[in-house]
Structure 1
Protein backbone atom coordinates (compact mmCIF):
# COMPACT_ATOMS: atom_id res chain seq x y z
CA UNK A 1 0.00 0.00 0.00
CA UNK A 2 1.23 3.49 -0.81
CA UNK A 3 1.08 5.92 2.09
CA UNK A 4 0.83 9.65 1.55
CA UNK A 5 2.49 12.12 3.86
CA UNK A 6 0.19 14.80 2.53
CA UNK A 7 1.95 17.67 4.24
CA UNK A 8 5.54 17.10 3.29
CA UNK A 9 6.44 14.40 0.78
CA UNK A 10 5.36 11.21 -0.95
CA UNK A 11 6.48 8.09 0.92
CA UNK A 12 6.01 4.31 0.74
CA UNK A 13 5.45 1.87 3.56
CA UNK A 14 8.21 -0.48 4.58
CA UNK A 15 8.08 -3.66 6.64
CA UNK A 16 8.27 -1.55 9.78
CA UNK A 17 5.70 1.03 8.67
CA UNK A 18 5.88 4.49 7.16
CA UNK A 19 9.25 6.20 7.14
CA UNK A 20 8.57 9.89 7.57
CA UNK A 21 11.19 12.57 7.32
CA UNK A 22 10.33 15.11 9.99
CA UNK A 23 10.58 18.34 8.03
CA UNK A 24 7.99 20.35 9.90
CA UNK A 25 6.03 23.09 8.23
CA UNK A 26 6.65 26.71 9.02
CA UNK A 27 4.03 28.36 11.20
CA UNK A 28 3.18 30.44 8.16
CA UNK A 29 3.50 28.13 5.13
CA UNK A 30 5.04 29.76 2.09
CA UNK A 31 2.54 31.69 -0.07
CA UNK A 32 -0.23 31.36 2.52
CA UNK A 33 0.90 34.58 4.24
CA UNK A 34 0.03 35.27 7.87
CA UNK A 35 -3.59 34.21 7.50
CA UNK A 36 -2.82 30.48 7.77
CA UNK A 37 -1.18 28.86 10.78
CA UNK A 38 -0.33 25.17 10.44
CA UNK A 39 0.92 23.94 13.80
CA UNK A 40 3.71 21.39 13.96
CA UNK A 41 3.40 19.79 17.39
CA UNK A 42 4.55 16.18 17.24
CA UNK A 43 2.42 15.32 20.27
CA UNK A 44 -0.71 16.90 18.81
CA UNK A 45 -0.16 15.19 15.47
CA UNK A 46 0.16 11.83 17.21
CA UNK A 47 -3.22 12.39 18.87
CA UNK A 48 -4.74 13.48 15.57
CA UNK A 49 -3.32 10.33 13.98
CA UNK A 50 -5.13 8.23 16.58
CA UNK A 51 -8.31 10.25 16.12
CA UNK A 52 -8.26 9.67 12.35
CA UNK A 53 -7.59 5.94 12.62
CA UNK A 54 -10.45 3.97 11.10
CA UNK A 55 -10.46 1.59 14.07
CA UNK A 56 -10.88 4.23 16.78
CA UNK A 57 -14.01 3.84 18.90
CA UNK A 58 -16.41 6.73 18.56
CA UNK A 59 -16.39 7.34 22.32
CA UNK A 60 -12.59 7.17 22.53
CA UNK A 61 -12.21 9.68 19.69
CA UNK A 62 -13.70 12.45 21.80
CA UNK A 63 -11.00 12.08 24.47
CA UNK A 64 -8.43 13.53 22.05
CA UNK A 65 -10.39 16.70 21.33
CA UNK A 66 -9.65 18.89 24.39
CA UNK A 67 -5.88 18.79 23.84
CA UNK A 68 -6.23 19.21 20.08
CA UNK A 69 -8.54 22.23 20.23
CA UNK A 70 -6.91 23.92 23.19
CA UNK A 71 -3.54 23.85 21.42
CA UNK A 72 -5.20 25.58 18.45
CA UNK A 73 -6.69 28.16 20.80
CA UNK A 74 -3.32 28.79 22.45
CA UNK A 75 -1.73 29.31 19.03
CA UNK A 76 -4.45 31.79 18.12
CA UNK A 77 -4.12 33.80 21.33
CA UNK A 78 -0.36 34.01 20.80
CA UNK A 79 -0.98 36.23 17.75
CA UNK A 80 -2.47 38.96 19.96
CA UNK A 81 -0.50 41.78 21.60
CA UNK A 82 0.96 40.88 24.99
CA UNK A 83 0.24 42.83 28.16
CA UNK A 84 1.92 42.27 31.52
CA UNK A 85 0.73 42.72 35.06
CA UNK A 86 2.25 42.08 38.46
CA UNK A 87 0.48 39.31 40.35
CA UNK A 88 0.88 38.48 44.03
CA UNK A 89 1.38 34.75 44.61
CA UNK A 90 0.69 32.77 47.77
CA UNK A 91 4.30 33.52 48.81
CA UNK A 92 3.30 37.17 49.18
CA UNK A 93 2.76 36.71 52.93
CA UNK A 94 6.48 35.92 53.28
CA UNK A 95 7.99 38.22 50.64
CA UNK A 96 5.73 41.23 50.25
CA UNK A 97 8.07 43.03 47.86
CA UNK A 98 8.13 40.24 45.31
CA UNK A 99 5.43 39.42 42.78
CA UNK A 100 5.16 37.61 39.49
CA UNK A 101 5.11 39.50 36.20
CA UNK A 102 2.49 37.56 34.27
CA UNK A 103 1.80 37.95 30.56
CA UNK A 104 -1.64 38.00 29.01
CA UNK A 105 -2.94 38.26 25.45
CA UNK A 106 -6.65 38.20 26.29
CA UNK A 107 -6.81 41.11 28.71
CA UNK A 108 -10.15 42.93 28.33
CA UNK A 109 -11.26 40.67 25.48
CA UNK A 110 -14.72 39.42 24.57
CA UNK A 111 -15.00 36.17 22.65
CA UNK A 112 -17.97 34.89 20.68
CA UNK A 113 -17.68 31.11 20.37
CA UNK A 114 -19.85 29.71 17.58
CA UNK A 115 -21.23 26.23 18.19
CA UNK A 116 -21.99 24.83 14.75
CA UNK A 117 -24.54 22.09 15.31
CA UNK A 118 -23.91 19.20 14.95
CA UNK A 119 -20.20 18.43 14.48
CA UNK A 120 -18.96 21.72 15.95
CA UNK A 121 -20.83 21.39 19.23
CA UNK A 122 -18.09 19.59 21.21
CA UNK A 123 -15.21 21.75 19.88
CA UNK A 124 -17.14 24.89 20.82
CA UNK A 125 -17.74 23.64 24.37
CA UNK A 126 -14.02 22.93 24.77
CA UNK A 127 -13.02 26.41 23.58
CA UNK A 128 -15.70 28.13 25.65
CA UNK A 129 -14.76 26.27 28.84
CA UNK A 130 -11.07 27.10 28.40
CA UNK A 131 -11.70 30.79 27.72
CA UNK A 132 -13.90 30.96 30.82
CA UNK A 133 -10.81 30.10 32.90
CA UNK A 134 -9.04 33.24 31.74
CA UNK A 135 -9.65 36.29 33.96
CA UNK A 136 -11.12 39.41 32.38
CA UNK A 137 -12.44 37.58 29.31
CA UNK A 138 -16.10 37.77 28.42
CA UNK A 139 -17.44 34.65 26.69
CA UNK A 140 -20.57 34.62 24.54
CA UNK A 141 -21.89 31.28 23.32
CA UNK A 142 -23.74 31.30 20.00
CA UNK A 143 -25.52 28.30 18.52
CA UNK A 144 -26.01 27.95 14.77
CA UNK A 145 -27.71 25.02 13.04
CA UNK A 146 -25.86 24.41 9.78
CA UNK A 147 -26.86 21.63 7.42
CA UNK A 148 -24.82 20.36 4.50
CA UNK A 149 -26.49 20.72 1.10
CA UNK A 150 -25.64 17.91 -1.32
CA UNK A 151 -26.50 17.17 -4.92
CA UNK A 152 -28.00 13.91 -6.19
CA UNK A 153 -24.53 12.49 -6.83
CA UNK A 154 -23.51 13.20 -3.23
CA UNK A 155 -21.31 16.19 -4.04
CA UNK A 156 -21.36 18.97 -1.44
CA UNK A 157 -22.89 22.09 -2.98
CA UNK A 158 -23.13 24.35 0.05
CA UNK A 159 -24.42 24.84 3.59
CA UNK A 160 -27.82 26.04 4.79
CA UNK A 161 -28.36 27.86 8.09
CA UNK A 162 -31.69 26.69 9.51
CA UNK A 163 -31.69 28.12 13.03
CA UNK A 164 -29.72 30.03 15.64
CA UNK A 165 -29.56 31.31 19.20
CA UNK A 166 -27.18 34.24 19.57
CA UNK A 167 -26.10 35.48 22.97
CA UNK A 168 -23.55 37.68 21.19
CA UNK A 169 -26.30 40.11 20.16
CA UNK A 170 -26.01 41.48 23.68
CA UNK A 171 -22.46 42.58 22.92
CA UNK A 172 -22.00 46.32 22.43
CA UNK A 173 -19.42 48.39 20.57
CA UNK A 174 -18.22 49.68 23.94
CA UNK A 175 -16.80 46.28 24.79
CA UNK A 176 -13.10 45.93 24.05
CA UNK A 177 -11.45 43.56 21.57
CA UNK A 178 -14.27 41.49 20.12
CA UNK A 179 -13.19 38.07 18.79
CA UNK A 180 -15.34 35.73 16.69
CA UNK A 181 -14.21 32.09 17.04
CA UNK A 182 -15.47 29.27 14.80
CA UNK A 183 -14.17 25.86 15.94
CA UNK A 184 -14.98 23.06 13.50
CA UNK A 185 -13.59 19.57 12.87
CA UNK A 186 -12.65 20.01 9.21
CA UNK A 187 -11.99 22.81 6.74
CA UNK A 188 -12.78 21.10 3.42
CA UNK A 189 -14.59 23.23 0.84
CA UNK A 190 -15.16 26.24 3.14
CA UNK A 191 -18.91 26.09 2.48
CA UNK A 192 -19.82 25.89 6.18
CA UNK A 193 -17.44 28.61 7.33
CA UNK A 194 -18.54 30.76 4.39
CA UNK A 195 -22.20 30.31 5.33
CA UNK A 196 -21.52 31.18 8.97
CA UNK A 197 -19.51 34.29 8.15
CA UNK A 198 -22.17 35.42 5.66
CA UNK A 199 -24.75 34.84 8.40
CA UNK A 200 -22.85 37.04 10.88
CA UNK A 201 -22.19 39.64 8.21
CA UNK A 202 -25.96 40.01 7.83
CA UNK A 203 -26.82 39.77 11.54
CA UNK A 204 -24.34 42.52 12.41
CA UNK A 205 -25.14 44.72 9.43
CA UNK A 206 -26.10 47.69 11.60
CA UNK A 207 -22.76 47.45 13.42
CA UNK A 208 -20.71 47.28 10.23
CA UNK A 209 -20.94 43.56 9.52
CA UNK A 210 -17.87 41.51 10.31
CA UNK A 211 -15.88 44.70 10.88
CA UNK A 212 -17.61 44.73 14.26
CA UNK A 213 -15.12 42.03 15.27
CA UNK A 214 -11.45 42.87 15.81
CA UNK A 215 -10.40 39.25 15.21
CA UNK A 216 -11.96 36.28 13.41
CA UNK A 217 -10.47 32.84 14.08
CA UNK A 218 -11.27 29.51 12.45
CA UNK A 219 -9.98 26.48 14.38
CA UNK A 220 -9.83 23.17 12.47
CA UNK A 221 -8.20 19.80 13.00
CA UNK A 222 -7.54 19.44 9.26
CA UNK A 223 -7.80 21.84 6.32
CA UNK A 224 -7.25 21.53 2.57
CA UNK A 225 -5.58 23.77 -0.01
CA UNK A 226 -9.00 24.31 -1.57
CA UNK A 227 -10.36 25.51 1.77
CA UNK A 228 -7.53 28.00 2.19
CA UNK A 229 -7.88 29.30 -1.37
CA UNK A 230 -11.64 29.79 -1.01
CA UNK A 231 -11.30 31.51 2.36
CA UNK A 232 -8.53 33.82 1.14
CA UNK A 233 -10.66 34.86 -1.83
CA UNK A 234 -13.80 35.75 0.16
CA UNK A 235 -12.84 36.18 3.81
CA UNK A 236 -9.17 37.28 3.89
CA UNK A 237 -9.59 38.77 7.37
CA UNK A 238 -10.11 35.31 8.89
CA UNK A 239 -7.12 33.68 10.57
CA UNK A 240 -7.00 29.92 10.06
CA UNK A 241 -5.42 27.58 12.62
CA UNK A 242 -5.02 23.87 11.96
CA UNK A 243 -2.91 20.87 12.91
CA UNK A 244 -2.76 19.44 9.40
CA UNK A 245 -3.07 20.50 5.80
CA UNK A 246 -4.17 17.51 3.72
CA UNK A 247 -3.25 17.59 0.05
CA UNK A 248 -3.36 13.83 -0.48
CA UNK A 249 -4.70 13.96 -4.05
CA UNK A 250 -1.80 16.05 -5.30
CA UNK A 251 0.75 14.55 -7.67
CA UNK A 252 3.91 12.90 -6.35
CA UNK A 253 5.89 15.90 -7.54
CA UNK A 254 3.73 18.36 -5.62
CA UNK A 255 3.76 16.19 -2.49
CA UNK A 256 7.54 16.41 -2.52
CA UNK A 257 7.39 20.22 -2.24
CA UNK A 258 6.87 22.41 0.78
CA UNK A 259 3.39 23.48 1.77
CA UNK A 260 2.09 26.38 -0.26
CA UNK A 261 4.92 26.49 -2.78
CA UNK A 262 2.49 25.42 -5.55
CA UNK A 263 -0.87 26.49 -4.16
CA UNK A 264 -2.90 26.05 -7.33
CA UNK A 265 -1.58 22.53 -7.91
CA UNK A 266 -2.19 21.26 -4.38
CA UNK A 267 -5.31 19.11 -4.07
CA UNK A 268 -6.96 17.56 -1.05
CA UNK A 269 -10.61 17.06 -2.03
CA UNK A 270 -12.46 14.34 -3.90
CA UNK A 271 -15.03 15.25 -6.55
CA UNK A 272 -17.69 14.98 -3.84
CA UNK A 273 -15.84 17.39 -1.56
CA UNK A 274 -14.32 15.00 0.98
CA UNK A 275 -10.80 15.32 2.39
CA UNK A 276 -8.04 12.84 1.50
CA UNK A 277 -6.63 11.33 3.60
CA UNK A 278 -8.84 13.23 6.05
CA UNK A 279 -10.63 11.57 8.95
CA UNK A 280 -13.84 10.10 7.55
CA UNK A 281 -17.32 11.06 8.72
CA UNK A 282 -16.39 13.17 11.73
CA UNK A 283 -19.96 14.44 12.05
CA UNK A 284 -21.16 10.96 12.95
CA UNK A 285 -18.09 10.31 15.09
CA UNK A 286 -18.73 13.37 17.25
CA UNK A 287 -22.47 12.78 17.40
CA UNK A 288 -21.97 9.41 19.10
CA UNK A 289 -23.36 7.50 16.16
CA UNK A 290 -21.96 4.13 15.17
CA UNK A 291 -20.39 4.31 11.69
Structure 2
Protein backbone atom coordinates (compact mmCIF):
# COMPACT_ATOMS: atom_id res chain seq x y z
CA UNK A 1 0.00 0.00 0.00
CA UNK A 2 1.23 3.50 -0.80
CA UNK A 3 2.70 5.47 2.09
CA UNK A 4 0.88 8.66 3.06
CA UNK A 5 3.70 10.25 5.04
CA UNK A 6 7.31 11.17 4.35
CA UNK A 7 9.73 8.89 6.19
CA UNK A 8 13.40 8.94 7.16
CA UNK A 9 15.56 6.83 4.86
CA UNK A 10 17.22 3.89 6.59
CA UNK A 11 18.38 0.29 6.18
CA UNK A 12 16.49 -1.35 9.06
CA UNK A 13 14.02 -3.02 6.73
CA UNK A 14 10.51 -2.36 5.42
CA UNK A 15 8.85 -3.03 8.78
CA UNK A 16 10.32 0.16 10.29
CA UNK A 17 8.74 3.56 9.62
CA UNK A 18 10.45 6.60 11.12
CA UNK A 19 8.24 9.59 10.38
CA UNK A 20 10.10 12.59 8.98
CA UNK A 21 7.87 15.48 10.03
CA UNK A 22 9.28 18.90 11.00
CA UNK A 23 6.11 19.66 12.96
CA UNK A 24 6.06 16.40 14.94
CA UNK A 25 9.84 16.35 15.35
CA UNK A 26 9.84 19.88 16.72
CA UNK A 27 6.99 19.13 19.09
CA UNK A 28 8.73 15.97 20.33
CA UNK A 29 11.90 18.00 20.96
CA UNK A 30 9.81 20.41 23.02
CA UNK A 31 8.45 17.48 25.04
CA UNK A 32 12.03 16.34 25.78
CA UNK A 33 13.19 19.70 27.16
CA UNK A 34 13.50 20.64 30.84
CA UNK A 35 11.09 23.53 30.26
CA UNK A 36 8.22 21.20 29.37
CA UNK A 37 6.12 20.40 32.44
CA UNK A 38 2.56 19.36 33.21
CA UNK A 39 -0.05 19.97 31.94
CA UNK A 40 1.79 20.83 28.72
CA UNK A 41 3.51 17.42 28.69
CA UNK A 42 0.32 15.42 28.29
CA UNK A 43 -1.12 17.91 25.82
CA UNK A 44 1.94 17.39 23.61
CA UNK A 45 1.74 13.61 24.01
CA UNK A 46 -1.88 13.74 22.88
CA UNK A 47 -1.00 15.63 19.70
CA UNK A 48 1.94 13.34 18.92
CA UNK A 49 -0.01 10.11 19.40
CA UNK A 50 -3.06 11.42 17.56
CA UNK A 51 -0.85 11.95 14.51
CA UNK A 52 1.01 8.67 14.98
CA UNK A 53 -2.10 6.47 15.21
CA UNK A 54 -3.59 8.30 12.22
CA UNK A 55 -0.51 7.57 10.11
CA UNK A 56 -0.46 3.92 11.18
CA UNK A 57 -4.15 3.46 10.40
CA UNK A 58 -3.79 5.03 6.95
CA UNK A 59 -0.90 2.71 6.12
CA UNK A 60 -1.74 -0.54 7.90
CA UNK A 61 -5.53 -0.84 8.02
CA UNK A 62 -7.78 -1.95 5.16
CA UNK A 63 -9.10 0.95 3.06
CA UNK A 64 -12.41 0.97 1.21
CA UNK A 65 -14.05 3.18 -1.42
CA UNK A 66 -17.34 4.82 -0.47
CA UNK A 67 -19.99 7.18 -1.75
CA UNK A 68 -22.66 8.95 0.26
CA UNK A 69 -25.17 11.75 0.34
CA UNK A 70 -24.36 15.08 1.96
CA UNK A 71 -26.51 17.95 3.19
CA UNK A 72 -26.50 19.26 -0.37
CA UNK A 73 -27.95 16.06 -1.84
CA UNK A 74 -31.54 17.37 -1.61
CA UNK A 75 -30.57 20.04 -4.15
CA UNK A 76 -28.09 18.00 -6.23
CA UNK A 77 -29.09 14.33 -5.86
CA UNK A 78 -26.86 13.16 -8.70
CA UNK A 79 -23.69 14.50 -7.07
CA UNK A 80 -22.68 12.10 -4.35
CA UNK A 81 -19.57 12.43 -2.21
CA UNK A 82 -17.00 9.80 -3.26
CA UNK A 83 -13.74 8.92 -1.55
CA UNK A 84 -11.77 6.40 0.52
CA UNK A 85 -11.84 5.61 4.23
CA UNK A 86 -10.67 3.06 6.76
CA UNK A 87 -12.90 0.02 6.45
CA UNK A 88 -15.14 -0.48 9.46
CA UNK A 89 -15.10 -4.25 9.00
CA UNK A 90 -11.94 -4.88 11.03
CA UNK A 91 -10.84 -5.16 14.64
CA UNK A 92 -8.24 -3.39 16.75
CA UNK A 93 -6.81 -3.76 20.26
CA UNK A 94 -4.79 -1.02 21.93
CA UNK A 95 -2.50 -2.38 24.65
CA UNK A 96 -1.68 -0.21 27.66
CA UNK A 97 1.88 -1.06 28.72
CA UNK A 98 1.67 0.71 32.07
CA UNK A 99 2.84 3.11 33.01
CA UNK A 100 4.46 5.04 30.16
CA UNK A 101 1.95 3.57 27.74
CA UNK A 102 -1.19 4.29 29.77
CA UNK A 103 -2.07 7.71 28.38
CA UNK A 104 -0.82 6.98 24.82
CA UNK A 105 -2.93 3.81 24.72
CA UNK A 106 -6.01 5.70 25.91
CA UNK A 107 -5.46 8.26 23.12
CA UNK A 108 -5.18 5.52 20.50
CA UNK A 109 -8.15 3.60 21.91
CA UNK A 110 -10.35 6.70 21.65
CA UNK A 111 -9.07 7.52 18.17
CA UNK A 112 -9.83 4.05 16.79
CA UNK A 113 -13.54 4.65 17.49
CA UNK A 114 -13.65 7.35 14.81
CA UNK A 115 -13.29 4.65 12.14
CA UNK A 116 -14.34 1.35 13.72
CA UNK A 117 -17.58 0.31 15.47
CA UNK A 118 -17.29 0.12 19.24
CA UNK A 119 -17.77 -3.65 19.19
CA UNK A 120 -14.52 -3.98 17.21
CA UNK A 121 -12.30 -1.88 19.48
CA UNK A 122 -10.78 -2.93 22.81
CA UNK A 123 -8.14 -1.75 25.25
CA UNK A 124 -6.02 -4.27 27.18
CA UNK A 125 -3.84 -3.48 30.18
CA UNK A 126 -0.46 -4.90 31.17
CA UNK A 127 1.55 -3.65 34.14
CA UNK A 128 5.20 -3.93 33.17
CA UNK A 129 8.37 -3.05 35.06
CA UNK A 130 12.03 -3.08 34.17
CA UNK A 131 14.16 -5.79 35.74
CA UNK A 132 17.64 -4.44 36.45
CA UNK A 133 20.88 -5.75 37.91
CA UNK A 134 23.04 -4.24 40.63
CA UNK A 135 24.38 -1.66 38.16
CA UNK A 136 20.86 -0.55 37.05
CA UNK A 137 21.32 -2.25 33.71
CA UNK A 138 18.11 -3.67 32.25
CA UNK A 139 18.09 -7.45 32.12
CA UNK A 140 14.45 -8.04 31.19
CA UNK A 141 10.82 -7.15 31.87
CA UNK A 142 8.46 -8.36 34.55
CA UNK A 143 4.67 -8.34 34.21
CA UNK A 144 2.95 -7.67 37.52
CA UNK A 145 -0.61 -8.11 36.31
CA UNK A 146 -2.84 -7.75 33.27
CA UNK A 147 -6.41 -7.33 32.03
CA UNK A 148 -6.83 -8.83 28.56
CA UNK A 149 -10.40 -8.75 27.35
CA UNK A 150 -10.55 -11.55 24.80
CA UNK A 151 -8.92 -13.02 21.75
CA UNK A 152 -6.96 -11.09 19.11
CA UNK A 153 -8.03 -13.21 16.16
CA UNK A 154 -7.66 -11.16 12.95
CA UNK A 155 -7.14 -7.96 14.97
CA UNK A 156 -4.61 -5.17 14.65
CA UNK A 157 -2.84 -5.30 18.03
CA UNK A 158 -1.29 -1.90 18.76
CA UNK A 159 1.34 -1.15 21.41
CA UNK A 160 1.64 2.62 22.02
CA UNK A 161 4.85 2.69 24.06
CA UNK A 162 6.66 6.06 23.96
CA UNK A 163 10.26 4.94 24.58
CA UNK A 164 11.63 2.08 22.49
CA UNK A 165 14.85 1.57 24.49
CA UNK A 166 16.00 -2.04 24.96
CA UNK A 167 12.94 -3.72 23.43
CA UNK A 168 12.51 -6.09 26.39
CA UNK A 169 8.98 -4.98 27.25
CA UNK A 170 7.76 -5.03 23.66
CA UNK A 171 9.25 -8.47 22.98
CA UNK A 172 7.79 -9.91 26.18
CA UNK A 173 4.34 -8.42 25.53
CA UNK A 174 4.13 -9.76 21.98
CA UNK A 175 5.42 -13.13 23.20
CA UNK A 176 2.56 -13.24 25.68
CA UNK A 177 -0.11 -12.52 23.07
CA UNK A 178 1.29 -15.11 20.70
CA UNK A 179 1.59 -17.84 23.32
CA UNK A 180 -1.38 -17.24 25.61
CA UNK A 181 -4.08 -15.28 23.73
CA UNK A 182 -6.17 -16.90 21.00
CA UNK A 183 -5.28 -15.63 17.56
CA UNK A 184 -3.60 -15.21 15.25
CA UNK A 185 -3.59 -11.43 15.18
CA UNK A 186 -3.76 -9.75 11.80
CA UNK A 187 -0.83 -7.45 12.68
CA UNK A 188 1.25 -6.38 15.63
CA UNK A 189 2.03 -2.66 15.46
CA UNK A 190 4.39 -0.79 17.78
CA UNK A 191 3.86 2.97 18.08
CA UNK A 192 6.87 4.67 19.66
CA UNK A 193 7.85 8.30 19.99
CA UNK A 194 11.59 7.52 20.18
CA UNK A 195 13.44 4.32 19.25
CA UNK A 196 17.06 3.21 19.46
CA UNK A 197 18.93 0.90 17.06
CA UNK A 198 19.16 -1.59 19.93
CA UNK A 199 15.37 -1.61 20.30
CA UNK A 200 14.80 -2.14 16.58
CA UNK A 201 17.27 -5.04 16.50
CA UNK A 202 15.80 -6.76 19.57
CA UNK A 203 12.17 -6.47 18.50
CA UNK A 204 12.70 -7.48 14.88
CA UNK A 205 14.96 -10.39 15.84
CA UNK A 206 12.28 -11.80 18.15
CA UNK A 207 9.28 -10.86 16.01
CA UNK A 208 10.33 -9.99 12.44
CA UNK A 209 6.73 -9.42 11.31
CA UNK A 210 6.08 -6.56 13.75
CA UNK A 211 5.48 -3.17 12.15
CA UNK A 212 7.19 -0.28 13.97
CA UNK A 213 6.25 3.38 13.71
CA UNK A 214 8.33 6.04 15.44
CA UNK A 215 8.78 9.80 15.34
CA UNK A 216 12.51 9.83 16.10
CA UNK A 217 15.58 7.58 15.98
CA UNK A 218 18.12 8.24 18.75
CA UNK A 219 21.63 6.83 18.37
CA UNK A 220 23.50 9.63 20.12
CA UNK A 221 26.29 7.51 21.60
CA UNK A 222 27.46 6.28 18.21
CA UNK A 223 30.74 7.43 16.68
CA UNK A 224 30.66 10.42 14.38
CA UNK A 225 31.38 8.21 11.39
CA UNK A 226 28.32 6.11 12.21
CA UNK A 227 26.21 9.21 12.79
CA UNK A 228 27.22 10.48 9.36
CA UNK A 229 26.09 7.23 7.72
CA UNK A 230 22.63 6.10 6.67
CA UNK A 231 20.77 4.71 9.70
CA UNK A 232 21.16 0.94 9.72
CA UNK A 233 24.24 0.91 7.48
CA UNK A 234 26.43 0.06 10.50
CA UNK A 235 23.66 -1.28 12.71
CA UNK A 236 26.01 -3.27 14.96
CA UNK A 237 28.01 -0.11 15.71
CA UNK A 238 25.03 2.15 16.38
CA UNK A 239 24.41 2.99 20.01
CA UNK A 240 21.51 4.85 21.57
CA UNK A 241 21.58 3.51 25.14
CA UNK A 242 23.82 4.52 28.02
CA UNK A 243 25.16 2.12 30.67
CA UNK A 244 21.83 2.23 32.54
CA UNK A 245 19.89 1.63 29.34
CA UNK A 246 18.42 5.10 29.06
CA UNK A 247 18.05 6.66 25.63
CA UNK A 248 20.54 9.34 24.50
CA UNK A 249 19.74 12.11 23.66
CA UNK A 250 16.29 10.86 24.68
CA UNK A 251 14.03 12.87 26.92
CA UNK A 252 14.20 11.29 30.36
CA UNK A 253 11.68 8.80 31.68
CA UNK A 254 8.36 9.47 29.94
CA UNK A 255 6.51 7.30 32.44
CA UNK A 256 7.73 9.65 35.18
CA UNK A 257 6.99 12.94 33.47
CA UNK A 258 3.57 11.95 32.12
CA UNK A 259 2.41 10.82 35.56
CA UNK A 260 4.37 13.45 37.53
CA UNK A 261 5.55 10.56 39.67
CA UNK A 262 9.30 10.11 39.92
CA UNK A 263 9.62 6.66 41.43
TM-score by length of 1: 0.83
Q: Structure 2: how far apart are the matches of 1:135 and 1:110? A: 7
Q: Deviations over 1:122-148 (max 9, x none)?
A: 000000111111144621110111111
**Pick aligned residue for 2:84 from 90, 103, 122:** 103
Q: How far 1:219 sits from its partner (Å)?
A: 0.3
- The answer as to whether partners of 1:29 and 1:36 remain within 8 angstroms in 2 is no
- Which structure 2 residues correspond to residues 57-96 of structure 1 after superposition, within 5 A? 57-80=37-60, 81-96=62-77
Q: Structure 2: how far apart are the matches of 1:26 and 1:262? A: 23
1:20 alignment partner in structure 2 = none
- The answer as to whether partners of 2:92 and 2:157 remain within 8 angstroms in 1 is yes
Q: Structure 1: how far apart are the matches of 2:26 and 2:143? A: 34
Q: Structure 1: how far apart are the matches of 2:128 and 2:262? A: 21
Paired residues, number = 257
- The answer as to whether partners of 1:58 and 1:290 remain within 8 angstroms in 2 is no
- Is there any run of 5+ residues in structure 2 with no aligned partner, and where? none
2:129 alignment partner in structure 1 = 147
Q: How far 1:28 sits from its partner (Å)?
A: 6.3
Q: Deviations over 1:193-214 (max 9, x none)?
A: 011111112222xx45xxx111
Q: How far 1:235 sits from its partner (Å)?
A: 0.6
- The answer as to whether partners of 1:149 and 1:160 remain within 8 angstroms in 2 is yes
Q: How far 1:100 sits from its partner (Å)?
A: 1.3
Q: Structure 2: how far apart are the matches of 1:121 and 1:236? A: 25
Q: Which has the larger radius of gyration?
A: 1
- Is there any run of 5+ residues in structure 1 with no aligned partner, and where? 1-24
Aligned partner of residue 154 in structure 1, secondary structure = coil
- Answering whether residue 110 of structure 2 is matched by residue 129 of structure 1, we say yes
Aligned-residue CA RMSD in angstroms?
1.9
Greater Cα shift, 142-151 or 100-109: 100-109
Greater Cα shift, 241-250 or 264-273: 264-273
Q: Structure 2: how far apart are the matches of 1:100 and 1:261? A: 46
2:29 alignment partner in structure 1 = 49
**Pick aligned residue for 1:221 from 193, 197, 218:** 193
Q: How far 1:96 sits from its partner (Å)?
A: 1.2
Q: Deviations over 1:157-179 (max 9, x none)?
A: 1111111111233x6x5xxx410
**Residues 71, 188 of structure 1: alpha-carbon distance in 2 compared, 3 angstrom cutoff:** same
TM-score by length of 2: 0.92
Q: Structure 1: how far apart are the matches of 2:114 and 2:7? A: 26
